[in-house]
Structure 1
């Protein structure tokens, strides 16, 4: 699948397109897309909460649920959420497999700062 790079406007494909799509899905608040109010995830609502075991579980569940619904090219097998140890920052780590075409079964891994989309990514 070919898409457009959100920063450069150029064509983007493969893993780079999936990574951009995943970030867009996870950091788009529910209800903010006019034609697709259910697009996005609960992650933006959780980011500023206290980092504790309950919040970690909510972040991981919100991530898996949103990606299962909106990104058919991947299957998430593992999610981790924790502190970066720098300025109270947090990071979301995803691992799984691609499910699309000739890349099906290929392992992928992503690491996203929890501040993505808030001007600091």
Structure 2
């Protein structure tokens, strides 16, 4: 179900929603699931350089490997939009069917 509207969504849309939730949730912020989330929120205000980019990619892959078993991550790209906001593009294979899933322009912050 769509977390904003409550309407029915496809499996691919649910995976996309789940990926966004995982990477934008700081580790330790969920009371009953302290390990849920990623280190991405801690890194988002770091300097936009290659070191930070690699840390963001690593944090993303680690979190999705742990909390989203429906996909196998193949490629993560981090880029900034014209306003300097960090965006992510993700290529993955669906675990159930092997189909390729591409998620573009995922906002790395919830604000």
Gaps of 5+ in 2: none
The yes-or-no answer on 1:78 pairing with 2:75 is yes
User: Aligned equivalents of 2:87 and 2:49: distance in 1?
Assistant: 14
Deviation digits for residues 15-64 of structure 1 (CA, Å, limit 9, x no counterpart): 01100000001100000111110000000111111100110000000000
Match 2:11 to one of 3, 10, 14: 14
Mind listing any 5+ residue stretches in structure 1 that lack a counterpart? Answer: none
User: TM-score when scaled to structure 2?
Assistant: 0.93
Matches within 5 A, 1:1-121: 4-84=1-81, 86-100=82-96, 104-111=97-104, 112-115=106-109, 117-118=110-111
How many residues are matched? 110
Matches of 2:54 and 2:35 in 1, distance apart? 21
The structure showing larger relative contact order (alpha-carbon pairs under 8 Å, at least 6 residues apart) is: 2
Residues 23 and 108 in structure 2, CA contact (< 8 A), matched pair in contact too: no
RMSD between superposed Cα atoms in Å? 1.0
Shift of 1:113: 2.1
TM-score w.r.t. length of structure 1: 0.86
